[in-house]
Structure formats: structure tokens, C-alpha cells
Structure 1
């Protein structure tokens, strides 16, 4: 009988102990582990989201830079005369030397003067790639088009000066004497370098950069160099 009573009392004690739940220490430890796991998960999610947004922004910048280069390439390859960007003036382009390019071209069989420039609004680190065209006889017949923006968010070269041996300092337009195309052909060539950075990219992310040496196929035929010398007001 006594053994039966002891067994019932022990069973009752076990039931009461099972109903007691976690102690405060156990609860604090569990909450701490859960908080750490949540922090790790959210950190991973934020990192993946930031990286995805940065990659998408960079892809947009690369695509915009390539489209701008393709349009310039199309007109330069049909070019008859390519003016040296080093000789460009603010009066004729609105920008400093090496930031403007003039070409007398016959794209699609239409003889015209085209001008490209990279211009930076006051107080902005991002510039625009712009384009305009006019007829060689514009002073008599008109036909000067307004500037049109082809690409946004163009970033300036690094450094304080232009060094031919350092690609990070290359301006948008310049005659590259070291290029194979310039050395092996009598045709005029021009190096075009565009660096674009989407504002959605992280501050530490590098800009997308495209560069290419373009050749004017018709420049070997000796067209007059002053075909587009008379420039409309920029």
C-alpha cells in the first residue's frame, strides 16, 4: 500500500514539474539564439537585395554606354573628315578640348556635319552624352538640329590630367597615336571612351566603361578638312 502511495505521489510531482514550463534563463537563451538567427537571415537578404540592385544598375549603365558608342561608330565609319578633339573649343562646342567630336559624314548617303559632346551640368558629377547635326551649308539654308541627349550619367576620368599610358585618365574623345589602326592605315581614327555609372549603384561600385578605336573609312579620299569648320553656336 505504501509503495502504491509513493508511486502516485512521484507521478503527481512529475506532472507538476512538467507543467512548470521553461525557466527565465532558458527563455532568455532561446530568445538570444532566435534573435541571432534572425539577424543573420536579414543580413543575407539585405546583402543579396543590394547586390541585385547594384548589378541591375550596372547592366543599365553598360547597355547605355554601348548604345552611345554604337551610334558614334556608325557615323565615324561613314565619316569623310574627323576633326581632332584636341583642337575643339568651348566657343564651338560648349565644352573643353577632348570632350567634343566633329565629323563630316555621309551616313545613309546624306552628307552632314555631326557633333558629339560630353557636358557636365554645374555642380553635378554626372554628365550627358549629347549629339546634334547640321548641313554643311547651314548658313545659307539652315538645317541645324538641337542637341539631343543620347546617354546620361557619364562619369569623368580619374586623375587631374590626361596620360596616354593610363586608361583611367582617357577623355571621351582623342586621337590615339599608339593604336594599331592609327599606325597601319592612312585613314583617320579616333578613340572613344565612355564611363557610365547609374545613380542606383553603390558608391563603392566602379563605373561601366567602354572604349574603342573607330576608323573613318572615307577619310582616305582626301575630302577638304574645312568641311565642318563653320560651327553653329552651341
Structure 2
């Protein structure tokens, strides 16, 4: 009798896991792995989002700095508009006494909607063939759908704005990840006035054939 009991106990000890126990163990392990992967993905996205916000903010501040140094000396700012390709443009003119080159200089900025870039170039007034190549100032610029975005001109007037003003509104970054920088700044053209040529939308400055392709 004792021998039979010993053999039965030995068989029970060698039985191992039941199928139900195995399935429960696998289910618990699967849940653990899912939680771990979710946490890793969330941390990765958060780190990427933080990096993109930082990069977009720094690049945007550089653009605002460049624009400020240029527009402040302008004597005339054109009304922004779109070219035949849908690209948005704005131009302003810096008179010779305020220009680094000593010559009256035209500066043009564009928002390339397709490539999502903010670019600029310049030329001596009256010599458009000497225009520099386009220089990219900011990438991943988000289009908000407004016809002249990201440029807006506030014309000079006798009531509250004796100088022309250029408003630059930038949304840059990765919209899919909801990460980026958004800012808007107004620049004053100190040499402009209500008498500036381009304060009348029908008489822009710095124009030549095909200057807004």
C-alpha cells in the first residue's frame, strides 16, 4: 500500500503545468509586454516631440532676427501676394544710405507652399539679373490656408500707424506629432511713411518681369 502511494505521489509531482495554467501565464506575460512597449513608445514620442519643439523654436527665432534687421531699414514694403505657382511673396526696399552695400537693395521673401520652406534673396534695385540664389531660412513651415500667409502688410496711415508694418506669422514643426513653434511678430519699417511708393497697392517697388513666379 505504501509503495502504491509513493508511486502515485511521484506521478503527481511529475505532472507539470496544466493547459489552463499555461494559458493564464501566457496571458499575464502578454499584458506585461504590451504595457512595457506602450511605455517605451510614449517616452520615445515625448523625447522626439521635445526635440522638434526646441529645434523649431530656435530656427524661428533666427528667422525673426534676420527679418528684423532687414525690415527696420526699409523705406517701402510691398503688399504680400501669391505667384502663379501658389508660392507667397513679399518684397521690401532698403535705401542706399541704410544698405550695407551702399546701393539701394531689394529683398524678397517667399513661402514655398509645396516644399514648406521660407526662403529669401536680394538684388540691387534696377538690376534684377544680379539677384542672388534663394537661401532657405526655415523648413517644415506649416500652411494655415490664408492667402498671403505668413506675410501681412499694415500700411502707413495718418491716424495710428505713420510707418509701414510687416507682420510675420510662423507655424513650424511636425503637425502630425503636434510639435513645433508658433509665433507672430510685427516689424516696423523706420524709413517708410504714408508717402512710401508701395503704400499704394498699385505701385509696388522692386518689380521686374516674373519676379513672383
User: Which category of TM-score, normalised to the shorter sequence, fits these structures?
Assistant: 0.7 to 0.9
**For 2:107, which of 108, 114, 127 is the aligned residue?**
114
TM-score where L is the length of structure 2: 0.74
Of 172, 178, 186, the match for 2:162: 186
Matches of 2:209 and 2:137 in 1, distance apart?
A: 20
Distance 1:138 1:24, change over 3 A: same
Please state which structure has a larger fraction of its residues in helix.
1
> What 5-or-longer segments of structure 1 have no aligned partner?
163-169
Distance 1:89 1:28, change over 3 A: closer
Per the TM alignment, residue 103 of structure 1 is displaced from its structure 2 partner at its CA by 1.0
Aligned to 1:165: none
Mapping 1:71-150, distance limit 5 Å: 71-85=66-80, 88=81, 90=83, 95=86, 99-105=88-94, 106-108=98-100, 110=102, 111-121=104-114, 126-138=115-127, 143-150=130-137
The residue number in structure 2 matching 1:230 is 207
- Structure-1 residue corresponding to 2:57: 62
Structure 2 unaligned segments of length 5 or more: list them: none
Give the structure with higher Rg (CA).
1
1:120 offset after TM fit, Å?
2.5
Partner secondary structure for residue 62 of structure 1: helix
> Given that residues 135 and 143 in structure 1 are in contact (C-alpha distance below 8 angstroms), is that contact kept between their aligned partners in structure 2?
yes
Secondary structure of the residue that 1:102 maps to in structure 2?
strand
Q: Following TM superposition, by how much is the alpha carbon of 1:195 offset from its aligned partner in structure 2, in angstroms? A: 1.9
Count the aligned residue pairs: 201
Judging changes above 3 Å, is the alpha-carbon distance between structure 1 residues 227 and 44 closer, same or farther for their aligned structure 2 residues?
closer
CA deviation vs aligned residue, 1:50-91 (integer Å, no higher than 9, x gap): 332233234333333332232222211122221222xx4637
